[in-house]
A = this chain, B = another copy of it.
Amino acid sequence: MLGECIENLRRRCPLVHNITNVVAINDVANVVLACGARPIMSDEPCDIQEITSICDGLNINIGMLKKYTAESMLLAGKKQKELGRPRVLDPVGVGASSFRKETVFNLIREVGFTAIRGNISEIKTLSMGTGNTTGVDADLADQITEENLDQIIPFIKAFSGKVGAVIAVTGSIDLVCNKEVCYVIRNGRAEMGKITGTGCMLSGMLASYLAANPGNELEAAAAAVCTMGLAGEIAWSRMQEGDGNASYRTKIIDAIYNMDGETLNKGANYELR
């Protein structure tokens, strides 16, 4: 059950290293704390390997990629690979520039990831850049809908098999896949897209769940994605007259803070395919 994953997280309190963008960095740290882990956010190359060594997991987010952070990501990623600890990649806006694409393709080759989380466009960009250029990708819509699920799921499973990572694709419907099984998750609300960094927050939480649930990657990733979506629903039910995206952000983090295994088990809305 997914609820056990958050219970493990709250009991184990892993230390999670996030090399993330400065837009969402404060929210990511607060979400990592809210779900039960402890955040470290350092991104300086000169001591990044020393710092990442004391951490139980790593979250790499390219939202505001810079030359020095690209260097830090590679160094930290390699060290965590060597130590056998979970590594999450969030390829924010990877399609926006060559520098982003090259950095991410290189990270996938050199580091390898336990899980990759992005929207469908980002995952398609990764898939093309890593050689999987069947006709399918080009045809894929940039939105996951009930209508195109049958087409998208096998593509994500194949990409998962190819890169050896759990793939979490978030959108109006969320998919969490390894090469064989896909969680199709229908939690969350469209209004979450009006808050900056909800994806980045989820990636920090995903690394936290993975760090606390070794050997149970697929379920841990699905639990993280359901936690975020469910928190979005709970937070929305607490919105009051005059509230907007800023209050919604606060209430989502609060809902994660108050999440427990029972609430997650009851509220998680998914099917396996």
Contacts and interface: CB of A to CB of B under 8 A. Distances in A.
Contact of A33 (B33, B66, B196): B196
Interface stretch (A46-54, A107-115, A132-140, A179-187): A46-54
Interface residues on A, range: 35 or more
A176 B246 CA distance: 27
Interface centre among A29, A196, A247, A257 (most CB of B within 10 A): A196
Interface in A76-128: 93, 96-100
Contacts of A254: 242-247
B67 A46 contact: yes
A40 interface: yes
A66 B46 CA distance: 8
If over half of A's interface residues share one DSSP class (helix, strand or loop), that class is named, otherwise mixed; here it is helix
A46 B249 contact: no
Given A30-B249, A41-B64, A50-B97, 14 more contacts: A21-B41, A22-B22, A29-B197, A30-B245, A30-B246, A33-B245, A42-B96, A50-B98, A234-B242, A244-B257, A246-B249, A246-B250, A246-B254, A246-B257
- Give 10 closest A-B pairs by Cβ, nearest first: A244-B257, A244-B254, A246-B253, A47-B97, A29-B196, A47-B99, A50-B97, A246-B250, A44-B66, A22-B22
